[in-house]
Amino acid sequence: MRIVFLGAPGSGKGTQAQKLMADYGLQQISTGDLLRGAVAAGSELGQRAKSAMDAGELVTDDIVLGIIAERLAQDDCKTGFILDGYPRNLQQAKDLEPVLADIGQSLDAAVLLNVDLDILMKRLTGRRTCSKTGKLLNIHFSSQEEMDAVTAAGGELIQRADDNEDTIAKRLNVYREQTEPLIEFYRSAGLLKTVEGEGDIEEIYSRLKSTLGLS
């Protein structure tokens, strides 16, 4: 299965993608994670991306296209993937088409995780990521047991540099202006599926699986 996740910052793209990856062996391809990795490694690409990320703006289309084309060409993507955070403007959606054609694949669905923008600030300011496994947690919503399990295993709970209120507000604006038009783009292509993204993480996952026809 090959899908795109659409959804605002904090809508749960990463959370739900991690679950599909664990249960169905789909590769989660998060341009945000790949870019943060490049920034942490101090590569030239990371240096070019960093200022836009810190400002909550999109990194240029050519940088992310290069990253995504390279990642999709790898062997482990042949069994299916979730594009988490790509495309996020109309140009990127158009750029993706020849990349998929080159590897002889096409999309099965574009899934919109639909969440009221009002609840996103709390999800994003409370987000923490395990330094060892990348597991996503939240100081407001995760259980104490889940948080303790990370530290007991020697992981640290890291807060993302762009998860502060000013940058989150900017990211939400960018989403509304540049990414939301993709909902219509994929609806016209007959690929759009909408999943209500509010409520318990497991309930949302059940809705997602049934929308995708997974048991």
CA distance 44 to 131: 23
CA distance 66 to 80: 19
186 binds ligand AP5 (CB under 6 A): no
4: left (phi over 0), alpha (psi -120 to 50) or beta: beta
What residue has token string 């038009």?
Answer: 181
Q: Crossing angle for the helix pair 44-55 and 165-174, nearest 10 degrees?
A: 90
Strands 81-84 and 2-6: parallel
9 binds Mg ion (CB under 5 A): no
Measured from the CB of residue 82, what is the shortest distance to Mg ion in angstroms? 11
CB neighbour burial string for 84-101, b if at least 16 within 10 angstroms, e if fewer:
bbbbbbeebbebbeebee
Instruction: Give the active site residues.
Output: 13, 88, 127, 160, 171
179 binds, among Mg ion, ligand AP5, none (CB under 5 to 8 A by kind): none
14 binds Mg ion (CB under 5 A): yes
56 binds, among ligand AP5, Mg ion, none (CB under 5 to 8 A by kind): ligand AP5
56 binds ligand AP5 (CB under 6 A): yes
| Count of residues interacting with Mg ion (CB under 5 A) | 1
Q: Segment contacting ligand AP5 (CB under 6 A): 57-65, 104-112, 151-159, 188-196? A: 57-65
Terminus-to-terminus CA distance in the chain, angstroms? 13
12 binds Mg ion (CB under 5 A): no
Binder of ligand AP5 out of 141, 166, 177, 210 (CB under 6 A): 141
**In 76-138, which ranges are E strands?**
81-84, 109-114, 127-130, 136-138
Q: Segment contacting ligand AP5 (CB under 6 A): 52-60, 70-78, 149-157, 188-196? A: 52-60
Which pair of tokens denotes residue 95? 């750029």
130 binds, among Mg ion, ligand AP5, none (CB under 5 to 8 A by kind): none
Measured from the CB of residue 37, what is the shortest distance to ligand AP5 in angstroms? 11
Residues forming the site for ligand AP5 (CB under 6 A): 7, 9-15, 31-32, 35, 52-53, 56-59, 64, 85-86, 88, 92, 123-124, 126-127, 136-138, 141, 162, 171, 201, 204
